Structure 1
Amino acid sequence: MPLAGCLLQDKPDPALDIPASYRAGPRSERAAEATLPKLDWWRGFRSRELTAIVEQAREANLDIAAAIARIVQADAQARIAGSALLPTLDLNGDASQSKSSSRLGSGAENRTFSASLSASYEIDFWGKNRAALRAAEETAVASRYEREVVTLSTVAAAANAYFQVLAAQDRLRTARENVESATRVLNLIKQRLEAGTASELDTAQQESLVNTQRAAIPQLEQTVTQNRNTLAVLIAMPPQRVTVHGGRLNSVAVPRVTPGLPSELIAQRPDIRQAEAQLASASANVENARAQFFPNIALTGEGGYQSAVLKTLISPQSAFYSAAAGLTQPIFQGGLLLGNLDLQKGRQDELLQAYRKAVISGFADVETALDAIRQTARREQIQREVVSSSRRAFDISERRLREGTVDLVTVLNTQQSLYQALDALTQARLARLQAVVSLYQALGGGWLPKPEVADNAR
C-alpha cells in the first residue's frame, strides 16, 4: 500500500513530566529495586488466613469473572474486525419451478436448477480495514489490563476487609477488658460508699463509664459482621458459609516495600497500561476514519452451473461465470465522514488526557501511600507510648483507690485516657497495614508485564 503512509499521522505526545525519584521514597536506585512488589505480595503479611482469603477471591470473585468475559467479547470483536481483510465465499443453490398462464401464454412449465460459488473481496488499499483491526486488537489488549485492574482492586479490598475484621475484634476485646476493669473499679467505689468515703455521685459516674464501655460492644460486633459479609461477597460465597477466625492485628507482619523508580510505574500499573492501549485503539480509529474518505475498491465473482434439468446440471454446457471490479468514491454524505473523523479525533484527545491523568495519578498514589506508611508508623509508635503511660497511670490510680489516697476524679480520668489510648492504638495499627496495602496497589502489585523484546533482538 504505497499511498497508505500518507494517511498516517504522528501519534499524540503525552508530554509527561516523569520525576527522577519519589519525594518520600529512597534516593538510591539500587535500594529502590531491592523490594519491588512480588506477584504474591499479600503473603508478606504472614497470615495464612489472609493468604487463603485472597487466593480464593482471585479464583472466585464475580467481578474478575465478568472482566474475563469482557476479554472473550473483545477477542471476538477483533476477529469480526479482521474478517474484512479476507474474501467472503458463499455457496448458492437454487431450484425453482414456474408455470405461465394458458390464457396469456403457452402455459408451459419452466424449471431451473443452479449451483454456484460467489466471492467478494475489498482491497484494503488505504488501510481502512487494517486500522479497524488494530483498533479492535488494542481494545482486546486493554480488556486484559482491565482484568488486572479488577484483580488488584479485589485483592486490596479483601486484605483491607480482613484487617478491618481483625481491628474490630481487637477493639471488641479491648472494650470487654475495659468493662471488666471499669466494673472492678465500680466495686471498689461501692465498697467505699458503704464505708462512707464515697458519694452517690461517684458511684453514678463510674456506672456511666461502665455502661459507656458496654454500649460500644454491639457496634463493634456489628462491624465484625459487616466486614465478614464483605469478604463473603469478594469470594462469591453466601455469608452463612463464610467463617473468619481472625485474631490480632499485632500478629500480622508489616512487610517492607519500596516504590522503585517513577519511570517504572508506567509499566508496573495495569490501569496505566490499559489507558495506553485505549489510546492506541483510538489512534487506529482516527486512521480508519481518514481512510473512509478514499475510494472503496471491490472485486466480485461468481461461477457455477445452471440448467433446466437436474441431471444435466453438472456438465460443461451448464457452466457460467461472472467477474466484476468496482470503485466507489464518496462525494457527499451529509457530513457523515467528516463528523466521524472529528468524533474519533475527539475520542483520541479524550483518551490522551485520560492516559496523562492515569500516569500523574499513579505518581500521586505512590507518594500518598509512602507518606501514609511513614506517618502511620510514627503514629503507632507514639500511640504505644501513650498506652504505656496511660496504663501505668491507671494502675497507680487504682492501687491508690484501694488505699484510699486518691480522689475519684483522677481515677475516672485515668480510666478514660487508657480506654481511649487502647482504642486509638488499634486504629493506628489498622491504618498502618492499610497504608501498606495502598502502596502495593499504587505500585501495581500482583501483576508484572511481560518483558518486551526489541526488534533488533528477534
Structure 2
Amino acid sequence: MRTRIVALAALLLAGCTTAGPDFSVPPGAVVNRPSANAPFVSGREKVFADIPLPDRWWQLYGDARLDGFVAEALSANADLRVADANLRRADAVVAEVAAGRTLSTTASGGASLSRPSGTGTALPGQVGYDIGIALAYPLDLSGRIARAIEAAQGDAEAVAAARDDVRVTVAAETARSYAAACTANMVLAANTRILTLQRQTLNVTQRLQRGGRGTAFDVTRARTAVDQSEALIPAQIATRTAALYRLATLMGRPPADYPRDVESCARPPAMQRPLPIGDGAALLRRRPDIRAAERSLAAATARIGVATANLYPQVSLGGSAGLTGPLSSLGSGSSFSFGLGPLISWSFPNRPVVRAQIAQAGAAADAALAQFDSTTLEALRQTETALAAYAREGDRNAALRRAQQSAAQAADQAGRLYRFGRTDFLSLLTAQAALTTAQANLAASDALLIDRQVDVFRALGGGWQS
C-alpha cells in the first residue's frame, strides 16, 4: 500500500507543471528575418515617403464625402456584421472553456418502492428516498484546462484579426468604388468634349460640301467619327452606375439608395503628396492577416499541451452530502451522509492513443507555422508589387498626359489648317482620332492610378484600427 501511495504522489508531482511548450514565435520564422523588417525595395521612389501610414489613410485625400462614405461603410457593412458575430461566438467559446476550471455542482434525487420477497406483506411495501448534492473543483495539475483556454483565446484573437481584415477590405473598396464613379464622370466629360469637337468638324465639312469645297465622302467619314464617340457613352454611364451600386452595397444600403450627389462628381479624389508607406517592420505589425496567422499558430501550440496533459491523471477536489433511507426516517441524523476527497481519473493504459494525439497536435502546429510564414511572404509580395505598380503607372500617366497635350495641340492646328484649305480632311481626321485615343488612354490611366493607390493602402493593411 505504501508503494502505491508513493507512486501516486510521484505521478501527481509530475503533473504539477503546465504540459506542452509555451508559445513564442520561432526564431527562424520569416517574420524575424532582417530583410522582412527592412525598408521596402520598391519604396525608394520619390512618390513614396518613409513615414508611418495613418490609421484612416483615406483622409489623406482631403475629401469630406469620402470620409463620410467610409465611416458609414465601417458601421453598416453586412460583411462586417458577419465578422462581428463570428467574433462574439469565438469569445463565447473562450468563456465556455474557461468555465471548465470553476466549481461544478450536481444534484440528484429519487424515490423507490420495495417489498421484501416471501414476507407476505401486502403492497405497497416500503417507500425509500435518496437525495444528494456533489461538488467538484478541478485542480488542473497538468495544465490541461489552462492550455485549452490558451487555444480558445488564440482562436478568438485570430477571428478578431480576420474581422479587422474585413475592415481593411471594406475601407479600401469603398474608396475604390467612390473613385470609380467619379472617374467614370471624368471619362464621360472627356469623351463629351471630343464629341463636341467632332460635331463641329462634321458641321464644317457639311458647309464645305454645300459650298463645293468638300465631298460626300468627307461628310461620311466625319459622321462616322461622331457615331463612334457617341457609342462610347452608354458603356461609360454603365460603368458609373455599377460603381454607384457597389458603393451603396458596401455602405449597407440597397443599390437603389446610392448617394445621388456622386452622380455629379467631376473628378476622383487626388493625393498631391508622396504616399506614406512606413517600412517592413510596421507592415508586419499592422497587417491583420499576419496577426491572424500568428494567433492561429499560438492556438495550435497550446493544443500540443492539451494533448500532452492526457498523459497525466486528472485530479479534482470533490465533496458530497445527502440524505438516504426509508421515508419514515426522513430528516433524522441516521439518514445523513457526506464525503470529501480528491477524485482522480486517468485514461491509462491508452498511452499509445495519447502519443498519437500529441503527434497530431505537433503536426498541426508545424502546418500553422508554415501558414504563418506563407502569409508573411505573401503580404510582403503584395506590398512590393503594389508599390512598384503604382510607381510605374505614375510614370506612364505622366507620359500619357504629355501625349494628350501634344495630340490636343495637333488637333487644334489641323482644324485651323483645314478651315483655311491648307491641309486635307484625312489629316484632320487623323489628328482628331489621335486626340481621341490620347484622351481615352489618359482617362484610363487616371482611373488606374487611383486603383493602384488603393492597392497600396490595402496591401499596407491600413484602416482596421478603431
TM over 0.5: yes
Aligned to 1:258: 276
Aligned to 2:113: 98
Does the 8 Å contact 2:97/2:152 carry over to 1?
yes
Does the 8 Å contact 1:32/1:258 carry over to 2?
yes
1:165-186 deviation per Cα after TM superposition (whole angstroms, max 9, x unaligned): 1111111122222222111111
SS for the counterpart of 1:197 is coil
Q: Distance in 2 between matches of 1:272 and 1:52?
A: 29
1:180-200 deviation per Cα after TM superposition (whole angstroms, max 9, x unaligned): 211111111122222333333
Aligned to 1:456: none
Q: Distance in 2 between matches of 1:250 and 1:300?
A: 70
2:213 alignment partner, one of 189, 197, 208: 197
Aligned to 1:454: none
2:29 alignment partner, one of 6, 9, 15: 15
Q: What is the deviation of 1:338? A: 3.9
1:150 alignment partner, one of 147, 166, 171: 166
- Give yes or no for the alignment of 1:397 onto 2:411: no
Does the 8 Å contact 1:249/1:430 carry over to 2?
no
Q: Which runs of 5+ in 1 are unaligned?
A: 450-458
Q: Percent identity?
A: 23
Q: Distance in 1 between matches of 2:126 and 2:385?
A: 84
Aligned to 2:253: 237
Q: What is the deviation of 1:339? A: 3.9
Aligned to 2:437: 420
Q: What is the deviation of 1:263? A: 1.9
Q: What is the deviation of 1:298? A: 4.3
Does the 8 Å contact 1:380/1:428 carry over to 2?
yes
TM-score of the pair, normalised by structure 2: 0.87
Does the 8 Å contact 2:323/2:336 carry over to 1?
yes
Aligned to 2:314: 296
Q: Which runs of 5+ in 2 are unaligned?
A: 1-12
Q: Distance in 1 between matches of 2:240 and 2:58?
A: 21
What is the identity, as a one-letter code, of the residue corresponding to 2:169? S
**Most deviating of 237-246 and 108-117:** 108-117
> Aligned residue pairs: how many?
442
The residue correspondences of 1:210-221 to structure 2 (distance < 5 A) are 210-221=226-237
Q: What is the deviation of 1:103? A: 8.5
TM-score of the pair, normalised by structure 1: 0.88
Aligned to 1:360: 377
Q: Distance in 1 between matches of 2:228 and 2:180?
A: 22
Q: Distance in 2 between matches of 1:377 and 1:131?
A: 52
1:209 alignment partner, one of 187, 208, 225: 225
Q: What is the deviation of 1:95? A: 4.7
Q: What is the deviation of 1:125? A: 2.1
Q: What is the deviation of 1:258? A: 2.8
Q: Distance in 2 between matches of 1:251 and 1:139?
A: 39
Change (3 A) 1:184 1:103: farther
The residue correspondences of 1:50-129 to structure 2 (distance < 5 A) are 50-92=66-108, 94-98=109-113, 100=115, 106=121, 107-129=123-145
1:116-139 deviation per Cα after TM superposition (whole angstroms, max 9, x unaligned): 221234432222221111000111
Aligned to 2:285: 267
Aligned to 1:452: none
Q: Distance in 2 between matches of 1:448 and 1:226?
A: 29
What is the identity, as a one-letter code, of the residue corresponding to 2:111? S
Q: What is the deviation of 1:25? A: 2.2
1:278 alignment partner, one of 296, 305, 308: 296
Q: Distance in 2 between matches of 1:122 and 1:105?
A: 50
What is the identity, as a one-letter code, of the residue corresponding to 2:29? A
SS for the counterpart of 2:39 is coil
Change (3 A) 1:9 1:45: closer
**Most deviating of 138-147 and 10-19:** 10-19
Q: Distance in 1 between matches of 2:45 and 2:147?
A: 44
Aligned to 1:25: 43
Change (3 A) 1:382 1:105: farther
Aligned to 1:132: 148
Change (3 A) 1:186 1:404: same
Q: What is the deviation of 1:352? A: 0.9
1:46-80 deviation per Cα after TM superposition (whole angstroms, max 9, x unaligned): 11221111110000001111111111111111111
Q: Distance in 1 between matches of 2:251 and 2:178?
A: 12
**Most deviating of 80-89 and 192-201:** 192-201
SS for the counterpart of 1:153 is helix
- Give yes or no for the alignment of 1:326 onto 2:340: no
Q: What is the deviation of 1:267? A: 0.9
SS for the counterpart of 1:437 is helix
SS for the counterpart of 2:324 is strand
**Most deviating of 78-87 and 66-75:** 78-87
Does the 8 Å contact 2:138/2:315 carry over to 1?
yes
Aligned to 1:39: 55
1:359-387 deviation per Cα after TM superposition (whole angstroms, max 9, x unaligned): 22222222222222322222222222111
Q: Distance in 2 between matches of 1:434 and 1:14?
A: 36
Q: Distance in 2 between matches of 1:27 and 1:315?
A: 91
